[in-house]
Amino acid sequence: MKTEDLIGALAQDAAVTWKLSSRLALAFSLGALISTIIFALAVGVRPNLLAVGGSARFLFKFLFALALMLGAAGAVTQVGRPAARIGPWAFVLVALPIALAFAVMVELMATPAALWGVRLVGRNAAFCLTVIPILALGPLACLLVALRESAPARPGLAGAVAGLAASGIAATLYASHCPDDSPLFVAVWYSSAIAMVVGAGYLMGARVLRW
């Protein structure tokens, strides 16, 4: 049997698909639990969360991270299959940077130019770049272990999307701690931290998911 035929057969096997989805769901849940425990013990939510939780900036930041987590979680179940396709989840992942760019435009129009730099740099940039990758380590490891048995057609892509899902978990948790709510801060520092995890996921996936 040719490699292409084997990939096609595996991709169409309903039992294989169900087993992969179940394995990834377990890995995602376990990874999220690990990150939540570390977050609760070492970081914690911001003291004024209840006071700011209804503000537009905070809600956008939190919902952006949550949507990234859910969209990437859906995508990883697709790219983990022998025939790698992100499928409809690609629309979610494409819509998110567009929404972020729009939020940045609104922020620039609503904020005096003298404060742009202050909003962009924020107060916790270095902490953001450190905590999000650390919180993403557990979920990324769990997802890569789950993906090892799924024979992804594009190991690097599968690892990168796993990194995106892991950083989505981390960013969602960190958003409840971060005192910097401006879309400018999210666009620069959250995106940079997420890119670090995605890059690590790609490199690790290309190495450990190859078959």
Kindly tell me if the per-residue pLDDT of 142 is higher than 60.
yes
Confidence of residue 20 (pLDDT cuts 50, 70, 90): confident
The whole-number pLDDT of residue 115 equals 94
The whole-number pLDDT of residue 2 equals 52
Kindly tell me if the per-residue pLDDT of 58 is higher than 90.
yes
Its sign, for the CA torsion 30, 35, 40, 44, is: negative
Is 117 a member of any domain?
yes
Mean pLDDT of the chain: 89
**Higher pLDDT among residues 186 and 17, named by residue:** 186
Is 10 a member of any domain?
no
> Is the distance from CB of 65 to CB of 170 less than 8 angstroms?
no
The whole-number pLDDT of residue 82 equals 66
In this prediction, residues 22-27 reach a mean pLDDT of 91
Question: Which of these ranges, 12-21, 68-77, 95-104, 108-117, has the smallest mean pLDDT?
Answer: 12-21
**Higher pLDDT among residues 14 and 120, named by residue:** 120
The whole-number pLDDT of residue 85 equals 65
Is 6 a member of any domain?
no
Above pLDDT 90, what percent of the chain? 72
In this prediction, residues 136-148 reach a mean pLDDT of 95
Is 2 a member of any domain?
no
Confidence of residue 153 (pLDDT cuts 50, 70, 90): confident
Is 4 a member of any domain?
no
- Provide the b/e sequence for 121-153 (b: ≥16 CB within 10 Å): ebebbebbeebbbbbbbbbbbbbbebbbebbbb
Domain count, the chain: 1
pTM: 0.88
> Is the distance from CB of 205 to CB of 79 less than 8 angstroms?
no
Is 130 a member of any domain?
yes
User: Can you give the residue range of the structural domain that contains 32?
Assistant: 17-209
In this prediction, residues 2-26 reach a mean pLDDT of 63
Is 152 a member of any domain?
yes
Confidence of residue 11 (pLDDT cuts 50, 70, 90): very low
Is 153 a member of any domain?
yes
